[in-house]
Amino acid sequence: MHGLWVSHLLDIRATSEYCTAKPLASTATSADWLPLRHVCRYADGTSTDLVPGYVNPIIFLCLFIAVVSTALALRSARRSRAAEPTTLESPQ
């Protein structure tokens, strides 16, 4: 949520506006989804990651919580279904 709030996710600007510290290299940026990264590469060989260091641990923690919650919900549903008495009518 913080990234969506402060970033310009759908704002299409020139790379030089995001990476303003130094002159850019020929392949100016690279981006990855997992782990979330957006790296500015400069002509002098240095680079800067635009994604703060605390973002990826928060994303992985949220994914972990979502997986565990889904597993617990499925387990609870399966147990409640198994606990219901089944009524079978016997033929007369």
User: Is the pLDDT confidence value at 2 over 80?
Assistant: no
What pLDDT, on a 0 to 100 scale, did the predictor assign at position 15?
A: 67
Smallest CA-to-CA distance from 20 within 30, 12, 11, 28 is with 28
> Which helix (DSSP H) or strand (DSSP E) does residue 41 occupy?
strand 37-42
pTM listed for this prediction = 0.61
pLDDT at site 61:
96
Quick one: how far is CA 17 from the chain centroid?
Answer: 25
pLDDT-based confidence at 80, cuts 50/70/90?
A: confident
pLDDT of residue 65: 98
pLDDT at 4: 59
Report pLDDT digits (tens) over 6-48.
555 555 566 667 788 788 887 777 777 788 888 888 889 888 8
52-62 mean pLDDT: 92
- The DSSP 8-state label assigned to residue 2 in this structure reads H
CA-to-CA dists, residue 4 to 55, 58, 64, angstroms: 11, 14, 20
